[in-house]
Every structure is written in structure tokens, then in C-alpha cells.
């Protein structure tokens, strides 16, 4: 089954389950306030981390280095901000994990190790040398 379709089906189910469970424990008004507070704090912190990432990217560019990590990090922060705006506790936890630099580095480290292993397995080329032999019959321009 397609993972995107599975995510579209499972994420709302998880969110509804968590909203019901947490709402029954702490009350409906407190649950709603908690959702709004996490959205406001999360978006503010995403803005702060986004500006820090932008500064770091410009610093890398001034050193004539490629800001690859900063570009990927900026995309992750933007995605995290969207997750924090969506009401729910599961998306808030995932959003906060993507916003904090320490957990973001851990996630990126695991993903790069996974893709490096896959790319190293695809060495299906042959290394060789060649020699250009000129004939007298070749036309010279």
C-alpha cells in the first residue's frame, strides 16, 4: 500500500484517538487551549529556528561552501511549522521533533546513513582505460 495513502488514513485516526483520550483526562477546554498554545509556541519557535538556519546558510555561502544541510533543515522547519498548525497532539510531537536542532540532526543522520547504504550498493560500472588510435585515413579538419 502506498505510504502517503496510509499516512492520510492513519494520522487522523491517531489524532482523534489522542484528542479523545487526553480530553477525557484533562477536560475539553484545557485540551483546546493546549492545542492553541502548542500551535502558537511552535510557530514562534519555527520562525526563530528558520532565521537561525538562514543565518547559518549565509555564513556557509560566505565561506564558499554549499549550504546543503541548511537548505534541508529549512525545508524540515517549514514542514514542522505546518505540522504544528494542524490541530492534534501526534502532529505536534512530530513537529517539535523536527524543529529542535538536536533531534533534527539525529533524524538527518539516520536518513543519510540509510541512503548512503543504498547508493553504495549500486556500483554497477566498470573502470577501464582507452587509447585513441589515429589512422592515416582519418580526415583532419
pLDDT tens per residue across span 47-67: 999 999 999 999 999 999 888
Asked if residue 94 has pLDDT above 60, the reply is: yes
Q: Where are the alpha helices (DSSP H) in 86-123?
A: 89-99, 101-120
Per DSSP, the residues of 68-95 read: HHHHHHHHHHHHHHHHHHSSSHHHHHHH
Average pLDDT over residues 78-107: 92
Q: In this structure, what are the phi and psi dihedrals at residue 46, rounded to the nearest 5 degrees?
A: -65, -40
pTM for the whole structure: 0.74
pLDDT band at 114 (very low <50, low <70, confident <90, very high): confident
Amino acid at each position: 500500500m502506498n505510504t502517503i495513502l496510509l499516512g492520510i488514513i492513519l494520522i487522523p485516526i491517531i489524532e482523534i484517538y489522542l484528542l479523545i483520550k487526553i480530553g477525557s483526562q484533562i477536560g475539553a477546554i484545557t485540551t483546546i487551549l493546549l492545542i492553541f498554545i502548542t500551535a502558537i509556541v511552535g510557530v514562534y519557535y519555527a520562525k526563530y529556528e528558520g532565521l537561525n538556519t538562514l543565518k547559518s546558510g549565509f555564513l556557509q555561502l560566505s565561506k564558499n561552501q554549499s549550504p546543503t544541510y541548511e537548505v534541508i533543515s529549512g525545508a524540515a522547519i517549514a514542514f514542522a511549522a505546518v505540522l504544528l498548525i494542524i490541530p492534534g497532539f501526534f502532529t505536534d510531537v512530530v513537529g517539535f521533533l523536527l524543529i529542535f536542532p538536536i533531534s533534527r540532526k539525529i533524524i538527518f543522520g539516520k536518513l543519510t546513513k540509510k541512503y548512503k547504504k543504498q547508493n553504495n550498493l549500486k556500483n554497477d560500472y566498470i573502470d577501464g582505460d582507452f587509447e585513441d588510435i589515429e589512422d592515416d585515413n582519418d580526415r583532419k579538419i
